[in-house]
Amino acid sequence: MDHDKLNPATIAAQAAGATEAATGGVVPGISLATTYLRGQDNALLRPDNTYGRDQNDTVRQAEEVVRALEGAAASLLFPSGMAAVAAVFRALPSGARVVMQTGIYWGTLKWVRDYCVRRAIILDEIDAADAQALARACRDSADMVWIETPSNPWLKTVDIAAAAGMAHKAGAVLVVDGTAATPVLTRALDLGADLVMHSATKALNGHSDVLAGVLSCREPSLPMWAEIATDRHDAGAVIGPFEAWLLMRGMRTLPLRMERMCANAQRVAEWLDAHPGVEAVLYPGLPGHPGHEVAARQMRGGYGYLLSFLVEGDRARALDVVGRLRLWHRATSLGGVESLVEHRHSIEPHTGIPETLVRLSVGIEDAGDLIGDLEGALG
């Protein structure tokens, strides 16, 4: 069966065809071996399995699900989203020039800034949601353009197809962090991106119980892809088979979860938008959002599970609202079935996040219950 021709719900539910030939199990087992047998002739029983650092059937099965969902040529799993980010940057030569969207996940920027200094990589941070700013940054030649859309926690939307055009003109590869969209809503490679990255810790797994990251490529002949694959094999940033298996289990319901999470997020965003105690709502699903048109073009089936809002008042009022919530869990991270809330300024006080910004990751609970809890907290 060619899974690439199937729709996301089918690819995901059937884990891209992963079953267990040895037992006839509908669900594949977990391959835990760290090393593999050779026969009396010294030949490997399976030529593609020598040693477990980078060769594991369970990991390959989970990668195949992402690859098929993404419409990619190849996908590689990593032990966290940050390990996937680092794998891309480690493939750059010293002295490279990177154009990077600013105001994205702060952990990415924090690590990248430090790494670029150590490797003498020129880092140009720009607001990539501003097409003119991106065009200006791409006038000079570059090695890589990195965008995150929608961005965390500002929910800025970048036109991937336009960014790909600008990046390629500058001689750069375009990498998209699509964590907040998932391949169900946006297939960045179809829009011209060269690589797409996800923190699979978030909605791909969806149950707040696995750390994982994934990279996928459009063209396996991309020199950077070979560097990334070699680096993973040699330097050993590999995910364990148990995590890969859990991820595969989680992804079976990804399209279903995204449907509900997007519908819930849209309702929550619209409700907040109409509330007098809310100064602004940042969600691309709202017609007044500056990135709505772009999002409507490049996201299908919804605008994602992530949104932020500014509470009318000050820091104390925002913390008070967050503290009054009884249903939403106060915790960092996003993309799980359970809804999370976070006062972002407490986490990243030096990045320009307003003290009244509250970030929500909307889960699959009943939207009425979620809104009822917000109503109780906002008054």
Residues that bind ligand PLP (CB under 6 A): 80-82, 105, 107-108, 148, 152, 177, 179, 199, 201, 211, 213, 333
User: Choosing from 36, 53, 315, 324, which is the catalytic residue?
Assistant: 53
Residue 52 is given by DSSP the state: T
- Token pair of 171 as six digits: 């001689």
The nearer residue to ligand PLP, 225 or 305, going by C-beta atoms, is 305
State which residue, 28 or 250, has the beta carbon closest to ligand PLP.
250
Closer to ligand PLP at the Cβ: 237 or 367? 237
**Is 105 an active-site residue?**
yes
Are the C-beta atoms of 69 and 184 separated by less than 8 Å? yes
Strand partners, 343: 358
Residue 99 Cβ vs ligand PLP, minimum distance, rounded to whole Å = 18
CB of 77 to ligand PLP, least distance (A): 11
Closest to ligand PLP by CB, 143 vs 177, is 177
DSSP for 161-216 reads: HHHHHHHHHTT-EEEEE-TTTHHHH--TTTTT-SEEEEETTTTTT-SS----EEEE
Residue nearest to ligand PLP (CB): 81
Q: C-beta of 240: minimal distance to ligand PLP in Å?
A: 14
Taking CA atoms, 268 is separated from 108, 362, 364, in Å, by 28, 8, 12
For residue 128, the minimal CB distance to ligand PLP (Å) is: 14
Among residues 97, 156, 187, 202, the one annotated as catalytic is: 202
Of the residues 57, 105, 260, 305, which is catalytic? 105
Query: Which tokens in the block code for residue 101?
Result: 């969207």
Q: How far is the CB of 342 from ligand PLP (least distance, A)?
A: 11
* Active-site residue, selected from the candidate residues 57, 159, 177, 194: 177
Secondary structure (3-state) at 335: coil
Q: Which is nearer to ligand PLP, 31 or 205 (CB)?
A: 205
| Alpha carbons 377 and 228: distance in angstroms, whole number | 46
Q: Record the tokens describing residue 83, joined without a space.
A: 């390990």
* Six-digit token string for 162: 């336009």
Nearer to ligand PLP, 278 or 353 (CB): 353
Q: 334 and 180 in contact (C-beta within 8 Å)?
A: yes
Q: How far is the CB of 344 from ligand PLP (least distance, A)?
A: 11
- Minimum CB distance to ligand PLP, residue 157 (Å): 14
Cα 144 to Cα 146: distance, rounded to the nearest angstrom: 6
C-alpha 18/C-alpha 206 separation (Å) is 19
202 is catalytic: yes
38 as an active site residue: the answer is: no
Q: What CA–CA distance (Å, rounded) separates 195 from 177?
A: 9
Whether the Cβ atoms of residue 83 and residue 202 lie closer than 8 Å to each other: no
CA within 13 Å, CB half, 62 = 33
Distance, C-alpha 91 to centroid of its chain: 20
- Expressed in angstroms, the distance from the first to the final Cα of the chain is 54
Residue 158 CB neighbour total at 10 angstroms: 25
Closer CB to ligand PLP, 179 or 182, in the complex: 179
Q: Is 305 a catalytic residue?
A: no
Q: Which residues are catalytic?
A: 53, 105, 177, 202
